[in-house]
């Protein structure tokens, strides 16, 4: 009952025109930040922090968390319409979202993405409100061995990303892991594979690699084919999903939202890993896994539900323990301290009106996001009607600006172009590019925590800790399944021939 009464007090603390306007402005800015390749949710929040100096702590947090939750949805807009994921997490959305656009069904991709994001955000927030303390205790007890096992489990999803070409997907993931080794060793500080180039000391920035592999490679691929036909969606009304379509996705949304929240709690995991794992789980249990990657609404729903619900999960360790669960919550810690607020258990005791005002604003922000998404859908879908001789130069320009904006470095622009060419070569030879991103994201987590775990307890620690052993066992099963399926397919095809 204390939670309910505190939540009601939270709603009363943000009642008024000013908080509602701040939420609306935050959601609008968040959607734009997420949709623009090169601007991540963390960058969007960081850019607005200076504008909150003169605000009250409650108003400042209302604005910043509204940007956070909307940016996670915004990335799906460009992922669905032009195959240029605005955020790393929306890479997974593009797997099925962009094929829907190519089929003239952009409205379905955008509609499923919007509703899944909204419901996922709601579920993540509710789990944050009611289970934050107990969930934080679980995350706090996680050892480096468990983080390594979780990263390995995430890497086994490459089998789903590659479909029938799972061998090529595995090779691509290995290439992503190799790319992750470029730069400064996270433990010893020794430079690796930098070849004396100062630009490589920090390795390749994720955003330029992502933009190059997905957006530019698609442009080069279509230029080679000479495909300049416009496959625009006929109309929003005819293509927008029906209530029945959403009802079919109810279990996918619920399962992915819970999974996304739980994964979001673990510091360093975040929305990207949540989306990959949720997509993989959904594909594995689907009755029609062959439709994934070809325009399956379940794929879009799984990715976006997990993506948005991870926001609530990432806020759990921030508010209860003072530990950032993601890059964006690390920025939020700085914003809290600017306003003389120390995140942690005492925050619930000393400033409950701020904490529960934050919870209330998250719930309202999801409603505003749904409204903005519905009214803005006619604008988003017009992207599919832009002639390609105009669209391609626009995407190229956005890619250059987005790559440069990450570190204000021309090296990132050059690397973006180089990875665009490399991604084009991979597509020509039927190699999936998504596993490279997965290898880059999970490589650092796996390496750092593996070495920490070994230093703390030796190599056998991965098998003596129950949670680590269970995760590694599940990962092993996930890795072996494609071999079994491939063998069964071979046997069945040989029997048909005979």
Q: What is the pLDDT of residue 233?
A: 46
Q: What is the pLDDT of residue 35?
A: 74
Closest among 405, 289, 316 to 129, alpha carbons compared: 316
Q: Which domain holds residue 126?
A: 2-497
Q: Rounded to a whole number, what is the distance in angstroms from the first to the last CA of the chain? A: 69
Count of domains forming the chain: 1
Q: What is the pLDDT of residue 385?
A: 61
Could you tell me if residue 372 is left (phi over 0), alpha (psi between -120 and 50 degrees) or otherwise beta? alpha
Record the tokens describing residue 143, joined without a space.
């050892």
Could you tell me if residue 467 is left (phi over 0), alpha (psi between -120 and 50 degrees) or otherwise beta? alpha
The 3-state DSSP class for residue 97 equals helix
Dist. CA 322–CA 73, nearest whole Å: 25
Dist. CA 282–CA 266, nearest whole Å: 21
Tens place of pLDDT per residue across the chain (498 aa): 477 776 777 677 777 788 889 889 988 888 877 776 655 676 677 667 767 777 888 888 888 888 888 887 887 887 888 777 767 778 888 888 888 888 878 788 888 888 888 998 889 888 888 877 666 566 666 788 888 887 787 777 665 555 566 778 788 888 888 888 888 887 777 888 888 788 888 888 777 887 788 778 878 887 887 756 554 444 444 477 878 888 888 888 899 999 888 888 776 567 778 888 888 888 888 888 778 878 888 888 988 898 888 888 888 777 776 666 566 776 677 677 777 776 766 677 677 777 788 888 888 888 998 888 888 776 766 655 667 677 678 778 877 887 787 778 888 889 989 998 998 998 888 887 777 877 877 787 788 888 888 888 888 888 888 888 888 888 888 777 766 766 666 665 555 555
Per-position DSSP letters for 301-326, written without gaps between them: HHHHHHHHHHHHHHHHHHHHHS--SS
In this structure, are residues 183 and 201 in contact, taking their beta carbons and an 8 Å threshold?
Answer: yes
In this structure, are residues 118 and 301 in contact, taking their beta carbons and an 8 Å threshold?
Answer: no
């Amino acid at each position: 009952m204390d939670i309910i009464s505190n939540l009601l007090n939270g709603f009363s603390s943000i009642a008024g025109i000013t908080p509602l306007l701040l939420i609306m402005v935050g959601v609008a800015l968040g959607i734009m930040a997420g949709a623009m390749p090169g601007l991540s949710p963390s960058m969007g929040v960081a850019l607005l922090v200076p504008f909150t100096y003169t605000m009250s702590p409650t108003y400042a947090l209302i604005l910043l968390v509204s940007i956070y939750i909307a940016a996670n949805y915004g990335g799906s807009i460009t992922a669905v319409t032009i195959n240029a994921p605005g955020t790393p997490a929306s890479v997974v959305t593009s797997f099925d979202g962009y094929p829907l656009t190519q089929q003239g069904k952009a409205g379905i991709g955008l509609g499923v993405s919007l509703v899944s994001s909204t419901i996922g955000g709601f579920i993540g927030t509710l789990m944050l409100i009611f289970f934050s303390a107990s969930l934080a205790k679980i995350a706090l007890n996680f050892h480096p061995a468990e983080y390594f096992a979780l990263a390995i489990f995430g890497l086994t999803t490459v089998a789903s990303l590659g479909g029938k070409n799972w061998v090529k997907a595995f090779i691509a993931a290995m290439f992503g892991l190799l790319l992750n080794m470029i730069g400064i060793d996270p433990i010893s500080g020794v430079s690796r594979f930098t070849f004396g180039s100062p630009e490589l000391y920090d390795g390749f920035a994720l955003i330029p690699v992502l933009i190059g592999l997905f957006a530019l490679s698609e442009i080069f691929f279509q230029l080679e084919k000479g495909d300049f036909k416009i496959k625009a969606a006929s109309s929003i009304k005819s293509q927008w999903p029906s209530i029945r379509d959403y009802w079919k996705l109810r279990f996918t949304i619920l399962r992915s939202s819970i999974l996304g929240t739980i994964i979001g709690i673990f510091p360093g995991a975040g929305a990207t890993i949540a989306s990959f794992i949720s997509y993989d789980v959904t594909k594995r249990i689907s009755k029609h896994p062959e439709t994934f990657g070809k325009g399956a609404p379940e794929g879009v729903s799984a990715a976006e539900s997990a993506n948005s619900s991870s926001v609530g999960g990432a806020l759990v360790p921030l508010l209860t323990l003072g530990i950032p669960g993601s890059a964006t919550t690390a920025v939020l810690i700085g914003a809290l301290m600017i306003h003389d607020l120390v995140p942690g258990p005492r925050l619930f005791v000393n400033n409950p009106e701020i904490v529960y005002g934050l919870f209330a604003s998250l719930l309202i922000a999801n409603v505003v996001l749904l409204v903005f998404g519905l009214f803005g859908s006619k604008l988003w879908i017009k992207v599919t009607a832009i002639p390609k001789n105009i669209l391609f130069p626009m995407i190229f320009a956005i890619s250059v600006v987005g790559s440069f904006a990450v570190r204000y470095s021309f090296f990132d622009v050059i690397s973006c172009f180089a990875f665009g060419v490399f991604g084009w070569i991979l597509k020509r030879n039927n190699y999936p590019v998504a596993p490279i991103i997965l290898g880059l994201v999970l490589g650092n987590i796996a390496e750092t925590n593996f070495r920490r775990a070994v230093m703390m307890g030796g190599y056998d620690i991965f098998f003596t800790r129950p949670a680590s052993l269970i995760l590694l066992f599940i990962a092993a099963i996930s890795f072996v399944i494609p071999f079994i399926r491939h063998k069964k397919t071979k046997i069945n095809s040989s029997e048909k021939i005979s």
